Structure formats: structure tokens, C-alpha cells
Amino acid sequence: MRHAARTAAKPKLAPLYAVRRSRIHGSGVYATRRIRKGTRIVEYLGDRISHAQADARYEAKGQDDGHTFLFVVDGRTVIDAGVNGNDARFINHSCDPNCETVIEDRRVFIEALRTIQPGEELGYEYGLTWRAPTTRRNSRTTLAAAGLLPARTMLDAVPLDKKKAARKRR
């Protein structure tokens, strides 16, 4: 008679994150347990396409459509997580991020910049650039209202000319 191996089964750990409604924008990714600094949380997956393909694919979408999940890997490759993507596409932008992206061998990973507590929304700096002409005040005020700037930067939303005038009065 054969005997089963007497090895203790390793306990299954709860997943690191879950996707749910976000205060920032649409869906967000939240820590379900503590994630230690330096932990590789998830790989950003999706259809790997050229820049020209990405441009053609989303040409008809409006500039203000917030549901394009493109990640530029390098000068040749873009990952479109809107096609065959995973939960990483729901990690929102943050000006005060707790995560960062790491590109290794043309693969994109999301890693913890600091220890993240359960219930905290994951976010990383998207490195956004603005195409539409905007004023510094309008951009910062809009981002702050959307929760994309930390509160301490709201002071910077005062137009530069008012700051100069205030300094002259002193």
C-alpha cells in the first residue's frame, strides 16, 4: 500500500489587489493586504502593437475619452491593455504615487514604491503630457479637483501674477 507524502500544504495567500470603483476615475486597483516596498505587483499586459497601429486604432476616440489603456514601452512598441489586457490597466494616475513602472526586456511591471496598506488605491505617475493649450492654473485646478494632485499642491494653483503681486506688497 502506498502512503501519501506527508507534506504540509502551503497556505494560499489572498490576492494582493482587487479592482473596484475608484474616487479618482472609473475603476481602480486596491490593495487587499499589505504590500511591502519593492514588491512586484502585476505585469501590464495587452496587445503589443506599433505606435502607428495605436494611432490608427484610437484615431476616432475623442481627446477627452479617459478609457484608452495604452502604455508606451519604447520607440517601437505600445501595449494596448484594452485588448487582451489585465487588471493593471485599472491602476490610476497619481501625482503622489505608491507604485512605479519598471520596464525589463520590453515587459512592463508595476512595483510598490513604499509599503501599501490594505484598502489603499494603487497609483503611479503616468508621465502625462498635455496636447491641448491650457494655462498652468486650469491644468492644476482640474487635476486637483479630480484628486490627481496631492492637497499641498493646491497652493500652486494661484496664478503666478497674483503670487508676484503678493510678494511686492510685502
CA 78 to chain CA centroid, Å, is 16
Digit-coded pLDDT (tens) for 3-56: 555 556 667 888 999 999 998 888 999 999 999 999 999 999 999 999 999 999
Residue 158 is placed in which grid cell? 494661484
Residues near 118 by beta carbon (within 8 Å), at least 6 away in sequence:
31, 32, 33, 34
Whether residues 25 and 108 share a domain: the answer is yes
Global pTM exceeds 0.75? no
In a domain, 136, yes or no: yes
112: domain CATH number is 2.170.270.10
Total domains in the fold of the chain = 2
Indicate the residue type of 11: P
Contact 70, 126 (CB under 8 A): no
Tell me, what's the pLDDT at 37? 98
Whether residues 52 and 104 share a domain: the answer is yes
Contact 104, 43 (CB under 8 A): no
User: Which domain does 33 fall in, by range?
Assistant: 17-127
Q: How far, in Å, CA of 135 to CA of 149, rounded?
A: 16
Phi then psi dihedrals of residue 163, to 5 deg: -65, -45
Whether residues 97 and 71 share a domain: the answer is yes
Whether residues 69 and 142 share a domain: the answer is no
Indicate the residue type of 155: L
Whether residues 30 and 105 share a domain: the answer is yes
In a domain, 10, yes or no: no
Whether residues 118 and 136 share a domain: the answer is no
CA 29 to chain CA centroid, Å, is 9
Whether residues 21 and 99 share a domain: the answer is yes
